[in-house]
Amino acid sequence: MNPTIGRIVHYQLSDHDAADINRRRADAEAYRLANPRPDQSGDPGASGHVAHVGNRAAAGDCYPAVVVRTFGGTAANLSVLLDGTDTFWATSRGEGDQPGQWVWPPRVGA
């Protein structure tokens, strides 16, 4: 079955994906430490921005992803919902059970 826009699939992170996610999160933390801001909303200097914060990502981790564009067949762009405040943009990914690919969620029930 080909993916369609808005469907939820399971995406398995590759080594490269995990490295990109962890690098962005490390960069966000380094920026936060170098640029302390008031913690309370509405205080002078409070930025209100959302940073890349979350649990460490590893190759092989599986996350839900929303199909945002398809290219015919099984290739799709995905917005991967990470375990944190950020998402990961996985472009032109195909269906399969290997890192860097997506699969349909298994059906669970009686």
- Asked whether residue 82 is domain-assigned, the answer is yes
pLDDT tens digits for 86-101?
999 999 999 999 999 9
For 6, what's the count of Cα atoms within 13 Å in the CB-facing half-sphere? 0
- Asked whether residue 91 is domain-assigned, the answer is yes
- Asked whether residue 110 is domain-assigned, the answer is no
* Closest by Cα among 75, 83, 84 to 9: 75
- Asked whether residue 43 is domain-assigned, the answer is no
- Asked whether residue 96 is domain-assigned, the answer is yes
- Asked whether residue 53 is domain-assigned, the answer is yes
Domain region containing 65: 8-38+49-103
3-state secondary structure of 96: coil
Rounded to two decimals, the pTM is 0.85
Number of domains observed in the structure of the chain: 1
Residue 25 vs residues 22, 30, 99, 103, 108: alpha-carbon distances, Å: 5, 9, 21, 26, 33
pLDDT tens digits for 28-83?
889 888 877 666 666 666 666 667 889 999 999 999 999 999 998 899 999 999 99
- Asked whether residue 44 is domain-assigned, the answer is no
